[in-house]
Copies of this chain bind each other. A is one copy, B any other.
């Protein structure tokens, strides 16, 4: 019963590393960039040598804990013309990042980046340039921070045929929705997230789903082999969800989360970013705070889930350094993902949650049910909690699996009704 373990002395010598270390430049010395520098300065990676740090107004960035041999510069050309072998791009944004990375790859320098918007939009272009110039473009840090889902899917699940991928990919939305579940309004939860530094001053990218969408497009490329056009993945904001929706969701055994989901069926690809009802016992519901979760479903092995810190300098920096280690071990990574031919999927078929806020009077449910029936949509259940003001009365109708397009058309008709106080909310009930 006593617990004691013994370490076996190993006589064999440790395998020799490459004789010369990989020369690395960090481009952008913000939160992630400085975390990368700290990890590289920690002594655990003899195969990696930080030689350059680029930043605008670099003088205010110089850090005494970085090796004195590192060159600090505010001239990108100095990095480009140096003997650096890999650029770590952590400046973010589309330009000048795209131009810089094209120039670096054309000069035969590999690139490791955490820039999700750039990779979602121009990843294939950049990968082709890398391929043509016999260097590499790695972007493990662009999705889910410290959760190594890109690597796991590319290598560890390459023997399966992945049919769908979904996830909680935005910690800010997850934080806000968690707080709303505790009863806060959207605006209060957002303010709190901003005060804690979880949300930007302009939260549009997070709240509207654009951040999740970029990550989903990258995941779809890597996991499904589907090249999705960023603008054509529909996004619904979480700001239309109100606290009463959580009460009704709980009655259905669910909670509400911003989910990015992409799947392929015979010949078709489909992707969307929406607040959805997810079962409370699902891994998606269990993501806490800024945690990210990704679930893949394969033809052969079924579902696999990955979770961990989705944001933060250190988590993202670990993903960057892992890619650097991959490069330093001279693995020839296939960087151009095969894009299978898919047609656009016209529609999503799923059960839905519909929440109405009405000025109460007799016959409202009958009127809505009749309109739904006209579109051949079957009502599953009607829920109405007591204790609300009759002039601003929330109630919920769930409908059986139906075409989202048909349901949206039915809701457009219903929206003309004079009993509605505000537009109805339509949330997909996410299947396991």
Measured CB to CB, the residues of A under 8 A from B are: 1-10, 12, 14-15, 35, 39, 42, 44-45, 124, 128, 131, 140, 145-152, 155-161, 226-229, 232-234, 236, 262, 268-272, 274, 281, 283, 286, 298, 300-309, 314-315, 317-326, 329-334, 336, 338-339, 341-348, 404-405, 408-409, 411, 426, 428
B10:A323 contact, CB within 8 angstroms: no
CB distance from A94 to the nearest CB of B (A): 17
Cβ contacts A to B, 13 pairs, < 8 Å: A1-B408, A3-B428, A4-B344, A5-B228, A5-B262, A6-B232, A7-B342, A8-B228, A14-B338, A146-B300, A151-B156, A331-B332, A332-B332
Cα-based distance from A298 to B145 in the complex (angstroms): 14
Rounded to whole Å, the gap between the CB of A259 and the closest CB of chain B is 12
Known pairs A5-B233, A15-B131, A426-B1; A302 contacts B308 (CB<8 A): yes
Which chain B residues lie closer than 8 Å to A348 at the CB level? 3-4
Contact between chains at A307 and B309 (CB < 8 Å): no
Q: Which residue of the partner chain B has the closest CB to A348? A: B3
Out of B145, B159, B233, B326, which one reaches A318, CB within 8 Å? B159
Closest to A324 in B: B159
**Contact of A5 with B404 in the complex, beta carbons under 8 Å:** no
Complex CA distance for A320 and B160, rounded to whole angstroms: 10
On whether the beta carbons of A227 and B8 are closer than 8 Å, the reply is yes
A309 to B325, CA, bound (A): 29
Give me the 3 closest cross-chain CB pairs, A-B, nearest first.
Answer: A148-B156, A159-B321, A151-B156
**Bound complex: CA of A358 vs CA of B300, how far in Å?**
51
Docked CA distance A303–B291 (Å): 10
- Say how far A261's CB is from chain B's closest CB, in angstroms: 10
Inter-subunit contact A301/B315 (CB<8 Å):
yes
Give the shortest distance, in Å, between A263 (CB) and chain B (any CB): 10
Give the nearest-CB partner of A15 in chain B.
B336
- In the complex, the answer to whether B334 meets A155 with C-beta atoms within 8 Å is no
Enumerate chain B residues within 8 angstroms of A227, measured Cβ to Cβ: 7-8, 10
Taking CB atoms, residues of chain B closer than 8 Å to A151 are 151-152, 155-156
Q: With the chains together, A326 CA to B332 CA distance in Å? A: 10
**Is A272 within 8 A of B5, CB to CB?**
yes
With contacts A35-B300, A151-B152, A159-B322 known, what are 16 further pairs, Cβ within 8 A? A2-B405, A3-B404, A4-B404, A6-B228, A10-B124, A10-B227, A14-B338, A44-B161, A146-B304, A148-B304, A156-B319, A158-B321, A159-B323, A160-B322, A301-B318, A330-B332
